[in-house]
């Protein structure tokens, strides 16, 4: 009997969770692994490759589905401890495991079937030597390089595709940033020109394969063959069922399925919208850039030093002219407006609300108390930190005009535009929104329109999706936020006459 509910128990301890993130080890649940294995078996392979075998979810799926056939199951991993996993100790049928790095020591032969859950390691956890190697690897496989913010898992996908034999099949489960990062357009244009992307499987929040993990998962079903002009785009609405397995076994038959929502999408449209995002229907002719410009908040490079509480300001005797009121965390602003009352409450709660903002002046002309504080920063090695060392002098702070509106950079169910009544400067927890028109009545109407649920729901079309319903929106994405036409009419908002979506409007 299939144990559809088998999944990884994640530790609650922060240090243990960090260790998992360093290794990128998040196991594929049985009900998803079964469907992925069923797809690659359709290529009638003599060998199956799992390039990051881990605790053996796909090998276990193979044991259940092999139906008396003998197929070599080849596993790769860098962690020798996995050899002591019970599935390997109890079953050694058709199995060989090599403790080798799949990216640095790829197999010499090609495979008809590749299935995997690559290590999810984000770019900031990779050292410079590894990044340089991955850059060269991408160049060798594709003929180009991609943005350095691509995580380790992206290169696993490229290496796996490169190891796929003619007519072979690949099923990979990947985070949504595979389709949403700055590198995504170039990456997927190359993949879909050289391979056949048959199906993309997404999961509703309540059906996520990885509960309590801050990422949304996608499964890609790819065949090495002539590209299709359409893809099947699937949303799983319920976890721990065999609906996905049955769907895969029918070769993605498009009919009514329990717990699945299936859309046949034009490949060009899907790539333009983003493979992790639902099909966009009735695009609005308006976007946020027609009404406002967007900029990220201030990056201090060392919040603990530059972003201070009132107690610290008083104790350090920092003169008022070198301070600006600021807000750093989205959770410090509960509602959709920040007021002086909220600032005072943050002060009472000993939250930082003062930004040390010094210009180009030499330290020798600064007040003695400030000179002494800067010396403390030098003693901490701050001038050598990557962001700070780009400044001259090192303590010079980034400048921003106070934005009338703020936007929460990373939202969980409470994504919102915030009216800046307290005239604070935002740090990088927020984006700055500057309306083109400065009149108070216009700003107020724009604020209400942006917070309307019909606008907020469009954020998923321009943001990066994470676990538990979180959406992260970069400045370039927020500028493209579609604004429903009926809201523009409802709030009677005028746009700058010369631009509509960046195009000249003559009449």
* HEC assignment per residue over 74-108: EEEECCHHHHHCHHHHHCCCCEEEEECCCCCCCCC
User: What is the reported pLDDT for 462?
Assistant: 86
Count other Cβ atoms within 10 Å, centred on residue 350. 10
Q: Is 323 helix (H, G, I), strand (E, B) or coil?
A: strand
| Beta-sheet strands, E only, within 185-320 | 196-203, 217-223, 230-236, 260-266, 286-287, 292-296, 307-308
Exposed, middle or buried: residue 339 (CB in 10 Å: 0-12, 13-18, 19+)?
middle
Same domain, 253 and 216: yes
Exposed, middle or buried: residue 314 (CB in 10 Å: 0-12, 13-18, 19+)?
exposed
C-alpha 173: how far from chain center: 15
User: What is the reported pLDDT for 212?
Assistant: 75
Same domain, 73 and 178: yes
Same domain, 220 and 252: yes
Assess if residue 20 is contained within a domain: yes
Assess if residue 2 is contained within a domain: no
Mean pLDDT split into 10-residue runs, the chain, 507 residues? 41 38 64 98 97 95 93 95 91 94 95 96 86 96 94 96 98 93 93 98 91 84 97 96 96 94 96 87 84 96 97 96 95 92 96 97 96 97 94 96 89 77 96 96 97 91 72 88 95 69 38
Provide the token pair at 280: 């966009």
Cα distances (Å, whole numbers) of residue 496 to 236, 246, 419, 438: 42, 53, 21, 12
User: What is the reported pLDDT for 9?
Assistant: 47
Distance from C-alpha of 487 to C-alpha of 500, rounded to nearest angstrom: 16
What is the phi-psi region of residue 78: left when phi exceeds 0, alpha when psi lies from -120 to 50, beta otherwise?
alpha
Same domain, 70 and 148: yes
User: What is the reported pLDDT for 496?
Assistant: 66
Same domain, 382 and 463: no
Residue 393, preceding peptide bond in cis (omega within 30° of 0): yes
Count other Cβ atoms within 10 Å, centred on residue 248. 26
Same domain, 252 and 147: yes
In the structure, how many helices (H) and strands (E) does the chain have?
18, 25
Same domain, 99 and 218: yes
Distance from C-alpha of 257 to C-alpha of 247, rounded to nearest angstrom: 8
Distance from C-alpha of 202 to C-alpha of 199, rounded to nearest angstrom: 10
Count other Cβ atoms within 10 Å, centred on residue 446. 24
Distance from C-alpha of 464 to C-alpha of 445, rounded to nearest angstrom: 27
Domain range for 373 is 359-396
User: What is the reported pLDDT for 467?
Assistant: 60
Same domain, 343 and 251: no
Phi, psi of 471 (to 5 degrees): -130, 130
Assess if residue 471 is contained within a domain: yes
User: What is the reported pLDDT for 27?
Assistant: 80
Same domain, 173 and 264: yes
Assess if residue 195 is contained within a domain: yes
Same domain, 326 and 249: no
Helices (H), 205-339: 243-249, 267-273, 303-306, 310-316
The count of structural domains within the chain is 3
Q: CB neighbours of 21 closer than 8 A, spacing ≥ 6?
A: 120, 121, 125
Assess if residue 410 is contained within a domain: yes
């Amino acid at each position: 009997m299939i144990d559809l509910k088998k999944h990884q128990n994640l530790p609650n301890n922060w240090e243990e969770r960090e260790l998992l993130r360093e290794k990128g080890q998040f196991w594929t649940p049985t009900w998803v692994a079964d469907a992925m294995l069923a797809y690659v078996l359709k290529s009638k392979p003599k060998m199956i490759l799992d390039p990051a075998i881990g605790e053996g979810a796909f090998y276990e799926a193979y044991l259940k589905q092999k139906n008396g056939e003998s197929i070599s199951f080849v596993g790769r991993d860098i962690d020798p401890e996995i050899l002591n996993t019970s599935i390997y100790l109890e079953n050694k049928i058709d199995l060989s495991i090599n403790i080798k790095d799949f990216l640095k020591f790829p197999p010499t032969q090609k495979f008809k079937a590749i299935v995997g859950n690559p290590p999810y390691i984000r770019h900031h956890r990779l050292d410079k030597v590894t990044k340089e190697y991955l850059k060269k690897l991408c160049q060798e496989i594709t003929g180009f390089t991609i943005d350095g913010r691509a995580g380790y898992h992206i290169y696993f996908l490229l290496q796996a595709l490169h190891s796929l034999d003619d007519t072979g099949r690949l099923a990979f489960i990947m985070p949504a940033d595979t389709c949403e990062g700055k590198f995504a357009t170039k990456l997927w244009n190359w993949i879909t020109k050289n391979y056949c992307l048959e199906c993309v499987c997404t999961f509703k929040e309540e059906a996520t394969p990885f509960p309590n993990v801050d990422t949304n998962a996608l499964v890609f079903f790819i065949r090495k063959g002539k590209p299709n002009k359409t893809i099947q785009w699937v949303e799983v609405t319920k976890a721990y069922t065999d609906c996905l397995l049955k769907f895969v076994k029918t070769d993605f038959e498009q009919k009514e399925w329990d717990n699945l929502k299936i859309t046949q999408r034009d490949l060009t449209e899907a790539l333009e919208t983003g493979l992790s995002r639902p099909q966009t229907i009735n695009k609005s002719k308006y976007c946020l850039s027609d009404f406002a410009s967007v900029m990220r908040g201030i990056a201090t490079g060392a919040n603990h030093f530059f972003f201070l509480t009132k107690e610290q300001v008083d104790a350090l005797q920092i003169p008022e002219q070198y301070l600006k009121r600021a807000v750093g965390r989205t959770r410090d602003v509960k509602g959709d407006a920040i007021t002086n009352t909220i600032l005072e409450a943050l002060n009472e709660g000993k939250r930082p609300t003062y930004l040390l903002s010094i210009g180009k002046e030499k330290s020798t002309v600064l007040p003695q108390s400030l000179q002494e504080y800067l010396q403390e920063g030098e003693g901490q090695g701050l001038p050598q930190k990557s962001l700070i060392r780009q400044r001259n002098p090192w303590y010079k702070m980034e400048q921003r005009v106070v934005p009338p509106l703020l936007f929460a950079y990373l939202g969980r169910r409470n994504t919102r535009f915030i009216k800046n009544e307290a005239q604070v400067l935002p740090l990088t927890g927020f984006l700055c929104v500057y309306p083109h028109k400065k009149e108070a009545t216009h700003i107020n109407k724009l604020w209400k329109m942006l917070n309307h649920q019909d606008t907020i729901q469009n954020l998923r079309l321009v943001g990066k999706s994470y676990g538990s319903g979180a959406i992260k929106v970069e400045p370039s994405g927020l500028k493209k936020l579609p604004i429903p036409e009926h809201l523009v009419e409802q709030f009677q908002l005028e746009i700058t006459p010369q631009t509509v979506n960046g195009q000249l409007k003559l009449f």
